[in-house]
Structure 1
Amino acid sequence: MKVLISGASVAGPVLAHWLHRYGFEPTIVERTPALRHGLGGHAVDLFSSAAEVTRRMGCWDAIDAARTRLDSLTIERFGKRPVQVDLGRMYAGLSSSHVEILRGELTRILYGTTRDSTEYLFGDSIATMSDDGTGVDVTFDSGTERRFDLVVGADGLHSNVRRLAFGPEGPLHRPLGGYLAVFSMPDLFGLGNRTLAHLSVGKLVGIYGVRQTGLTRAGFLFRAPELQYDYRDKNEQKALLAKEFGDYGWKVPQLLQHLDAAEDFYFDSISQITLDSWYRGRIGLVGDAGYCPGPAVGGGTSLAVVSAYVLAGELAAARSDLQSGLRNYERIIRPLADLSRRISPKVMGTIIPGGSLALRLMPHAAAVLPKLPTAVQRLIWSQNAVGKAISSVPLPDYSDLTRLPV
């Protein structure tokens, strides 16, 4: 059974790995001419079940070795004393199994795990799809025509597969009122394993070192009414960011001096995707393409890893009954996706203070929590939405499905 996957970032390679293990023939098409991120992208987290999926894939050791190793956070505010946060103890309290890794590093490792078992089509994209009930005829931008048993969109917030199969993004797009920008720049501050963050009402600026490159990663989060911009136009996005933070102060003038030269610049709204169903016929969606909970605030990377694993397992368990497999995948993952979407506005409200009270309280709460015993921290986390989202879906065991005839 031949499966075409659009997107070579996180969900796509995880899905391809497990489909190949179960006897499918996966192909990944990726519009960029090579791996998308290199060492770019912001730092992302793998918690609990997502970490376990990579262990079962055999790439956990490589992921663990590539972790950011950021162990402390200093939070600064205008006119206030800095607040120190022990990140190592905070993560230990949040999850018994956690790693923070650059998105580009994670993509590189997942590609290395799948490149010998998956056909990769770089520099191409899906132009048209026609599902006749027994298969999907696909025409690529390159002009190539091929037929697949199933097509899966794992191509992110602005999914091409979703647009072709489900219609325009606009009605499905739910902005949360925030924006995220990230780019690399020279190491001006000698950060080592430290993260510096500056908070004000409606804004957060963070910088941290990237040990693999010796560079610094600068991140900006801010609240704003819905902005109109072309998500493909990096120059327009850079101008928006420079205007938003042009008079901010702190270290921001030094950061913005390197904005124009940044080749790995990323900018997007903190938005969600809401769909009643994640599949139509023989075309399905996984990860942010189907149910983005919100970049930087919703645990989307862990959700993508777990959901890709479950999708592959349910397709294998259903054998040739693809509709049953897609239906069971959605039944298992929807509670986690819905919970992640519910917590995202709360997380955004915490990390981007919406008022003076939140600005005053958040840094001190972040500093106090890691000082509690790990067992107490985990009890506290288990009572809130973040902790519930991380541990709410037990990981199914599909080990007896290996190499089933499909």
Structure 2
Amino acid sequence: MEALISGAGIAGPTLAYWLARQGWRVTVVERAGALRSGGNPVDVRGPALPVAERMGILPRLRESATHATTMRVIGPSGRTVARLPMSASGDEVEIPRSDLAAILADTVRDDAELLLDDTITTLRQDPGGVDVTFERAAPRRFDLVVGADGLHSTVRRLAFGPESTFVQPVGLYVATMPFGGPAETPSEVLLYNTPGRLVSIHPSRGEAVVAFIFRGEGLDRHAPHEAINGTYRGEGWRVPELLDRLRAIPDPYFDEVSRVTMPAWSTGRVTLLGDAASCVSLLGDGSTMAMTAAYTLATALAEHPGDPATAVHRYEVAHRRLVIPKQRGIGRAAGMLVPATQLGLATRNLGARLMAHRPPRASTAA
């Protein structure tokens, strides 16, 4: 059996690892000319931790984890509102996204064919397989095609329809950029809010990462400098300094935070995985859900050998149970992260102060 996976981020290499061990011949196609680097730290926790452990990569994830132990919430005046401990129970790993992607890619380096700087241009399936054409590589036929190619998925567009049918903005934008050096306090994540706006400085590992997260609509995601400068002009704290640093970054990551909702993730021998199927990134454990989905799909394919259509249906039914609650919680998470009003911000900050004074809960991790 031959599988084509579009996307070499988190979900794609995780699936490639498990399929290769089941005897599949796996090809991974990635539009970028190199594996992605940069981006905010992400969490690997809950159901993704056993997946990482079975892959033998959990020690490497822990070695590459960030050193952040505390979140410091900063009020509009620049004063510290609260310091909140981050999880110390051992039941999650926070790791730079680029490090997670590199570790996952390394697990399949010798087991999967990797086509960089290429993309799928057409999909045509029949009951026996899927005929695929590429922008660069020669046409080929596969038993299964998996779109693990993110929010702006090519596979989803080709197999299911235009992006606008399935992608729903949640009213937030996010931009990230390197800080330009290490954070002054490598153990603290700094969060600065004014109504409708957030700036964070995360120490990450080595070079810190800056994130601008703000409310808005109708902005051009291909014009990040204009959008960010227009939104944050006149803000206090360290924002003027960070905007100066932004001017030196020619192409910062910038996108609209969105939710993907679809009545079905699969059609015949084509299926979607991770953000392509059910984006909850930034507000819903995107990396954890991606790794978990990949393992669930691989398990279903192992249980239904020679019948990918049945397997992808079983995977979808199982994984939706995890994703749906995450998507339902997006509005509340957005309200906590970026309160829209001064009242909402004051309420959130009061809650942060109260949480800071609670005694720590005993860990229930095994």
The structural deviation recorded for 1:133 is 1.6
Of 312, 334, 342, the residue aligned with 1:326 is 312
- 2:149 is equivalent to residue 155 of structure 1: yes
2:260 aligns to what? 273
Change beyond 3 A, Cα 1:188–1:310: closer
Indicate if the aligned counterparts of 2:224 and 2:252 stay in contact, CA closer than 8 A: no
Q: Deviations over 1:24-78 (max 9, x none)?
A: 11110001111111xx111111112111211110111111111111112221112
Report if the CA contact (8 A) 1:76-1:82 is conserved: yes
Give the structure 2 partner of residue 51 of structure 1.
Answer: 49
Give the alignment partner of residue 220 of structure 1, picking from 202, 207, 212: 212
- Partner Cα separation in structure 2 for residue 370 and residue 305 of structure 1: 31
Contact 1:191/1:208 (<8 A) preserved = no
2: CA distance, partners of 1:50 / 1:35? 21
Partner amino acid, structure 1, of 2:213: L
Any idea what SS the aligned residue of 1:269 has? Answer: strand
**1: CA distance between counterparts of 2:182 and 2:310?**
55
Partner Cα distance (2:295, 2:195) in 1: 39
Q: Distance in 2 between matches of 1:188 and 1:151?
A: 41
Please list every run of at least 4 consecutive aligned residues from structure 1 whose deviation after the TM superposition is greater than 6 angstroms. none
Distance 1:113 1:53 in 2: 13
Aligned equivalents of 1:146 and 1:302: distance in 2? 32
Residue of 322, 329, 340 corresponding to 2:326:
340
CA RMSD, 1 decimal: 2.0
Partner of 1:74: 72
Taking the TM superposition and a 5 Å limit, the aligned residue runs for 1:27-46 are 27-37=27-37, 40-46=38-44
Q: Secondary structure at the match of 1:186?
A: coil
Deviation at 1:370, TM superposition (A): 5.6
Paired with 2:363 and 2:56, the residues of 1 have a C-alpha distance of 30
Matches for 1:281-300 after TM superposition, within 5 Å: 281-293=268-280, 295-300=281-286
Q: Secondary structure at the match of 1:130?
A: strand
Asked if 1:251 is matched to 2:238, the reply is: yes
Distance 1:366 1:249 in 2: 21
- Mapped pair 1:195 → 2:182: no
Name the SS for the 1:69 alignment partner: coil
2:126 aligned with 1:128, yes or no? no
SS in 2 for 1:99: strand
User: Do the aligned partners of 1:3 and 1:27 also contact (CA within 8 Å) in 2?
Assistant: yes
Amino acid at match of 1:303: M
Verify the 8 A CA contact 1:126 1:140 in the aligned structure 2: yes
2:290 corresponds in structure 1 to 304
Count of aligned pairs: 365
Q: Is the 8 A contact 1:70 1:87 kept in 2?
A: no
Counterpart position of 2:205? 211
Deviation at 1:85, TM superposition (A): 2.1
CA contact (8 A) 1:137 1:146 kept: yes
- CA positional deviation for 1:365: 2.6
The CA distance in 2 between the partners of 1:351 and 1:136, in whole Å, is 42
In structure 2, the residue corresponding to 1:227 is in which secondary structure?
Answer: coil
- Structure 1 residue runs of 5 or longer lacking an equivalent are 379-390, 392-406
Q: Kindly indicate whether the alpha-carbon contact (under 8 Å) linking 1:131 and 1:282 is maintained by their aligned counterparts in 2.
A: yes
Q: Percent identity?
A: 38
SS of the residue corresponding to residue 67 of structure 1 reads coil
Q: 1:96 to 1:342 in 2, by over 3 A?
A: farther
Which runs of 5 or more residues in structure 2 are unaligned? none
